[in-house]
Amino acid sequence: MSNSYRIRSTKIGNSAGFRLPADFYREHPQFNNASGWIEVLSEDTAIVRIIPESDDEEEEEDSLMMRLFLDFAMTEALKNNTLQPYTTEMSETACELIEGVELEEDSEEDG
């Protein structure tokens, strides 16, 4: 999966950018509308990292549900004035509770 594509520098509005060939997007549609960054490795070498948008609706739904839950919890805590600072004593108690607990590693076969 190591295809190379020629790119060209181009003007985009008041900025500059690189133009990727149409073949790139045809062969890798997951990169349409993606964002990322470029890292300069040396005077004449850079690497581009493109992060595709997630098409996983379940993951997006989980994220939405978590945000809704946290928003609800924060609203309730503020409404009832039940927030309290997390103290060193609380941290020590939590550490005592989990002392010696070992987590099982998920095997790659489970995925």
Question: Measured between alpha carbons, how far is 35 from 17 in angstroms, rounded to an integer?
Answer: 13
Task: Kindly report, residue by residue over 25-65, the tens digit of the pLDDT.
Answer: 899 888 888 888 888 888 888 888 888 876 566 666 777 88
**Which SS3 state, helix, strand or coil, does residue 79 take?**
helix
Q: Does 3 or 5 have the greater pLDDT score?
A: 5
- For 20, other C-beta atoms within 10 Å of its C-beta total 16
